[in-house]
Amino acid sequence: MSTETRDTIYIGKKPLMAYVTSALIQLANLPAVNIKARGLSIGRAVDVAQIIARKTENAGYTIGDIKIDSEALESQDGRTRNVSTIDIEIKRSGS
């Protein structure tokens, strides 16, 4: 009864294809995954989503909802700074 299947990929500093692979493995088992990133990794999250969408056009994965937001992070000097975030949904089309 565990519904805690991991369905979110957080983008960091690994090579792009590592995240593409993780996402494709998730998508083999789940109807959708979310790709999340913040700050400087936002562009890389878009790259990952685009690679998946292009490579799996025949498999029928498409880009769903895209949300942007910002988070207050405390920096090392104790001040809070706002950091932008992105959340890109990739889903099986039609199902």
Binding residues vs a copy of itself (CB under 8 A) = 39-43, 46-47, 49-50, 54, 63, 66-70, 82, 84-86, 88
23 versus 49: smaller Cβ distance to a copy of itself: 49
39 versus 60: smaller Cβ distance to a copy of itself: 39
Q: How many CB atoms lie within 10 A of CB 61?
A: 21
Cβ at position 24, least distance to a copy of itself in Å:
18
